[in-house]
């Protein structure tokens, strides 16, 4: 089975320093849903791995998060794609959990759920945490320059970016992923 793992905020949808707290605030980045559709049509399963500390902070609840994800999945389906599963960490940054990226818990859960080793699985994100968890899990890290991607690239060391595919957006990442599959 072919699998791709995507971060959510800043990769699929526009990010906000004030958090995405409602379905109305969830706005897809241009071409991101078409990119997911291209993955689905090429036979990839698509998993989303996202930190959602807004729950721990009391900004929204798990029901609201489910509604946000339902909107994301519905709009993706209308574009011809499928988000096969969404995995999220509801904890705050100081809770010391194993599932908050850059810790590997979410990716380990994805590996178990899909019964797929993570070695060589593309992981697309916009933050250093995304790059770190991708590398430690054996994934191929992609950094999109949407969301916090430009800031991430500017603040990362050469070592942080070693082996990272840097692309403009999810659409460009998917083009590269699909071209890698043809080789």
What are the catalytic residues? 7, 9
DSSP 95: S
CA pair distance 167, 124, nearest whole angstrom: 10
Instruction: Return the residue matching tokens 């999810």.
Output: 170
Is 117 exposed, middle or buried (CB count within 10 Å of its CB: 0-12, 13-18, 19+)?
A: exposed
Contacts of 63 (CB under 8 A, 6+ apart): none
CB 131 within 8 A of CB 163: no
**DSSP E strand boundaries for the chain:** 2-6, 44-51, 85-89, 122-125, 140-144, 165-167
CA pair distance 174, 167, nearest whole angstrom: 10
Question: Cα–chain-centroid distance for residue 121?
Answer: 12
């Amino acid at each position: 089975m072919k699998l791709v793992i995507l971060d959510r905020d800043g990769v699929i949808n526009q990010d906000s320093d004030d958090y995405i707290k409602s379905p109305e605030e969830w706005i897809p980045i241009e071409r991101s849903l078409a990119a997911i559709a291209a993955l689905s049509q090429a036979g990839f399963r698509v998993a989303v791995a996202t930190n959602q500390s807004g729950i721990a902070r009391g900004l929204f609840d798990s029901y609201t998060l489910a509604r946000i994800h339902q909107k994301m999945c519905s709009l993706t389906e209308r574009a011809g794609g499928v988000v096969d599963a969404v995995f999220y960490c509801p904890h705050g940054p100081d809770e010391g959990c194993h599932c908050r990226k850059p810790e590997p818990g979410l990716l380990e859960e994805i590996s178990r759920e899909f019964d797929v080793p993570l070695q060589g699985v593309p992981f697309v994100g916009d933050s250093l945490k995304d790059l770190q968890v991708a590398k430690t899990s054996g994934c191929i890290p992609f950094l999109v320059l949407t969301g916090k991607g430009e800031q991430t690239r500017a603040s990362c060391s050469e070592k942080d970016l070693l082996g990272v595919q840097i692309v403009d957006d999810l659409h460009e990442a998917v083009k590269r992923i699909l071209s890698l599959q043809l080789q």
